[in-house]
Amino acid sequence: MEKLTLKQPQLHSSNFDFLNKLGQNNDREWFHAHKDEFQKEQGQIESFADALLQELNTHDVIETPSGKKSLYRIYRDTRFSKDKTPYKTHWSGSFSRAGKFRRGGYHFHLQEGNTYIAGGFFGPSTEDLKRIRQEISFDAAPLRKILSSTSFISTFETLKGEQLKTTPKGFDANDEAIDLLRYKQFLLIRKFSDQELLSEDFLQQAGQTFKNMRPFFDYMSEILTTDINGL
């Protein structure tokens, strides 16, 4: 008797056709008139996010309870924005690692022409940033090994994020690791084409992308959850 293989959740063009129409009719009246269509498409995104959460839980411990809970609301916060359109025109969400010893976070952004999987440290606290820089200055070799690995380069190309143009306060401009010390954010980003987004194996690709972040996350977690004596 043949073993049945369950088909993995896949994203569909209708998920993004709705977003495109929303972009052309970004007002509350149109949205409420098409609420049923929105809920149908969002339900498929939730199923995809659930499957992505299952992939993550094969190699990490995630405290986000479900794909539905990972999704950001479609409603935009317009309080401090010149753009007053009320709705986002992309699907996005994030997964939180469980426990204070697991640092870093996972993020996904699904949109025709602008799909990416990302993770890392978007806004590290002043204390965390100082500890990261001190560790890099003391010995940058472990981080450079991660950033130069085949899996890292083939997935993310290079470390990304906002950087200082000058030397961070308290560090030497001639430090051999000055290129790394200038980072204010530490982001891992992989972009996907529309063809990849709608392919049958996008879930597997997205899951593998998250998995390839782990060496970097493990390095950062060790720095940020141990003291100077390694305790």
CATH number of domain containing 77? 3.30.930
State how many domains the chain has.
1
Residue 8 lies in a domain: no
User: What angle is formed at CA 79 by the lines to CA 37 and CA 84, rounded to 5 degrees?
Assistant: 50
Whole-angstrom distance, CA of residue 177 vs CA of residue 194: 37
> Is residue 7 in a domain?
no
* Domain contains 141: yes
Position 171 in a domain: yes
Which pTM was predicted? 0.90
Is residue 115 within 8 A of residue 191, CB to CB? The reply is yes
In a domain, residue 2? The reply is no
pLDDT for 230 equals: 46
The pLDDT of residue 83: 87
Q: CA–CA separation, 41 vs 33, rounded Å?
A: 15
Over the chain (231 residues), what is each successive 10-residue block's mean pLDDT? Answer: 60 95 96 97 96 96 96 92 92 94 94 97 92 96 98 97 95 96 97 96 96 96 72 45
Instruction: Tell me which residue range forms the domain holding 177.
Output: 13-224
pLDDT score, position 187: 97
Task: Note whether residue 196 is domain-resident.
Answer: yes
The answer to the question of residue 86 being in a domain is: yes
Residue 3 covered by a domain: no
